[in-house]
């Protein structure tokens, strides 16, 4: 996991070295979606990435997924720099 605070905002990245996802799977990330469940033990209901993206969006941010099948996945949350309101 890495994080950085830059001029454009806050970035948080989490990387794994697991089985990765194919481009068509990345494109289908959504609520209650799990991939290869018939071949792999997976806990949960398939809400993690979906909710992370929705929460980031509520704050003007975004979620990006970069993945290579059989090599791993990197998920990056980006939050824009907050503007401080004048008192």
Domain boundaries, the chain: 2-80
More confident residue, 21 or 73: 73
Q: Distance between CA 56 and CA 39 in Å, rounded?
A: 31
Q: What is the pLDDT of residue 29?
A: 86
Mean pLDDT score of the chain: 86
Q: What is the pLDDT of residue 39?
A: 66
What is the distance in angstroms between the CA of the first residue and the CA of the last residue of the chain? Answer: 36
Q: What is the pLDDT of residue 47?
A: 84
Helix (H) and strand (E) counts in the chain? 2, 4
Q: What is the pLDDT of residue 38?
A: 62
b (16+ CB within 10 A) / e for 2-12: eeeeeeeebbb
Q: What is the mean pLDDT of residues 23-43?
A: 75
Architecture of domain 2-80: 2-Layer Sandwich (3.30)
Kindly tell me if the per-residue pLDDT of 44 is higher than 70: no
């Amino acid at each position: 996991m890495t994080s950085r605070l830059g001029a454009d905002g806050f970035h948080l990245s989490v990387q794994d070295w697991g089985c990765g996802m194919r481009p068509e799977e990345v494109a289908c990330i959504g609520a209650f979606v799990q991939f290869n469940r018939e071949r792999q033990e997976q806990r949960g209901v398939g809400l993690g990435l979906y909710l992370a993206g929705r929460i980031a969006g509520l704050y003007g941010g975004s979620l990006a997924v970069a993945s290579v099948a059989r090599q791993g996945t990197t998920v990056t949350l980006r939050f824009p720099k907050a503007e401080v309101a004048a008192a």
